[in-house]
Amino acid sequence: MAVVNEGALKKMLKQYKYRDLTVREITNVISQYKDLKPVMDAYVFNDGSTRDLMSLTGTVPVSYRGNVYNIPVCLWLLDTYPYNPPICFVKPTSAMMIKTGKHIDANGKIYLPYLHEWKHPQSDLYGLIQVMIVVFGEEPPVFSRPTTQAPYQAFQAAGPPNPSYMPGMPAVSSYGPNPNPGGYPGYQYQGGNSYPATAGPAHYPTQTPVSTVGPSRDGTIGEDTIRASLISAVSDKLRWRMKEEMDRAQAELDALKRTEEDLKKGHQKLEEMVSRLDQEVTEVDRNIELLKRKDEELSEALEKMENQSENNDIDDVIVPTAPLYKQILNLYAEENAIEDTIFYLGEALRRGVIDLEVFLKHVRLLSRKQFQLRALMQKARKTAGLSDLY
């Protein structure tokens, strides 16, 4: 099959409203299913109107009883796709006959809940084909034509089946409920038990699907073959259901295991938090006891000082810890006393208590002594490792 690039598809779909979305889905599908190819052709609606629409024509692989068959299909895309579902047909060859059933009518039109409940972006072409493969794997849509019958006219997928062959089907266009600018009549996909009535038996246990290149099968089939076929079909169905249940149970088990791991981690974290809180509570209690003892000691010391405050001498209260510190304290006190003396001499001079000559004489003597005290105190502080005071 020739590869169709996106540029060619966009030219073919120039009248489509959502061209880019449609091109993206078609490209994805034909890259997965090589036997499907895009074809631009005229589609004839039930009311007789026609329009050029894109179709995906070819075969899809279906697994049935251990064998893979190529089922011919034709998917028509309306120009409002993907907001309206495709119109799907089975397209049998001359060596095949349509097997009518719940999902296929006598004209090959496909009815699926997936189409009936179509909603973009949850629904797309790839998902539709996957659903077709599963449904056709359970109930094949075609079977080999017996060689004793007259040749069957190949189904033409250029338009929908004739309404006269579809009991209860309205003769209207196949557009869905979504608003469309093309003015097509609306057609609601029928779901559930509302599919068209079948034109033949509901089940063909002796018929099997065929590939587009497989030989036809003829001759009568015995009861043993029918019984074996039914047993095989039931076994396949049971195996499929059992596998589905096991997968579901395994998924639930995995989810429960993850939840159990999360709960264990959370339990461990909670235990660590409780342990830290217990340690902090113990430390707080210990600090409270320590503060209570210190408070009692301070209260006793304060009470003792209050009782002895009347007889305390300032020189007895402040007792340096070393002789050098005591020397620094005495020098500092004497230097401040000289400073106060000079201040009061100035006040006496200002008030006229002493004359200027007496003031200058005493200030000169006091200043010389103050200088000596400061020098000695600076040296003592340096020896004690204290910072400079001036």
Length of the chain as a residue count: 390
Residue 170 confidence (pLDDT) above 60: no
Phi, psi of 19 (to 5 degrees): -60, -45
pLDDT of 348: 92
φ, ψ (nearest 5 deg) of residue 350: -65, -35
**Order of strands across the sheet that contains 67-77:** 37-44, 50-64, 67-77, 87-90
pLDDT at 221: 58
Residue 383 has pLDDT above 60, yes or no: yes
Residue 216 confidence (pLDDT) above 50: no
DSSP-assigned beta bridge partners for residue 41: 53
Query: How high is the mean pLDDT of the chain?
Result: 79
**Closest among 194, 93, 185, 81 to 144, alpha carbons compared:** 93
Q: What is the pLDDT of residue 315?
A: 66
Query: CA–CA separation, 196 vs 351, rounded Å?
Result: 132
pTM tops 0.85, yes or no: no
Cα separation of 38 and 74, whole Å? 10
Q: Which residue has the tokens 């959370």?
A: 266
Six token digits for residue 271: 């235990």
DSSP SS3 for 96: strand
Segment 375-383 mean pLDDT: 90
What pLDDT is stored for residue 194 in this prediction? 34
Phi, psi of 309, rounded to the nearest 5 degrees: -70, -30
Q: How sure is the predictor about 48, in pLDDT bands with cuts at 50, 70 and 90?
A: confident
Half-sphere exposure of 127 (CA within 13 A, CB side): 14
Answer yes or no: are the C-beta atoms of 74 and 157 closer than 8 Å: yes
Q: What is the DSSP letter of 164?
A: G
Using 50, 70 and 90 to split pLDDT, how confident is the model at 12?
A: confident
Tell me: pLDDT of 206 over 70. Answer: no
> What pLDDT sits at residue 322?
86
Long-range contacts formed by 28-34: CB under 8 A, 24+ apart? 28/125, 28/126, 29/56, 29/125, 29/126, 29/129, 30/4, 30/56, 32/126, 33/58, 33/60, 33/61, 33/129, 34/1
Residue 299, pLDDT score: 92
Q: Which of 241-250, 296-305, 360-369 has the highest mean pLDDT?
A: 360-369
Q: Where are the alpha helices (DSSP H) in the chain?
A: 6-12, 19-32, 113-116, 125-138, 223-308, 314-317, 323-351, 356-384
Q: What pLDDT, on a 0 to 100 scale, did the predictor assign at position 217?
A: 42
Separation CA 65–CA 233 (nearest Å):
7
Q: Quick: pLDDT tens for 99-153.
A: 888 888 888 999 998 898 898 888 899 989 988 898 888 888 888 887 654 444 4
Q: Which range, of 149-163, 226-240, 260-274, 335-349, averages the lowest pLDDT?
A: 149-163
Find the farthest-apart pair of alpha carbons in the chain and give their distance in angstroms, rounded: 158
Contact 341, 335 (CB under 8 A): no
Q: Is 76 helix (H, G, I), strand (E, B) or coil?
A: strand
Q: Write down the pLDDT at residue 314.
A: 66
Give the separation between CA 265 and CA 270, rounded to whole angstroms: 9
**Structure confidence by residue, pLDDT tens digits, 294-309:** 999 999 988 887 777 6
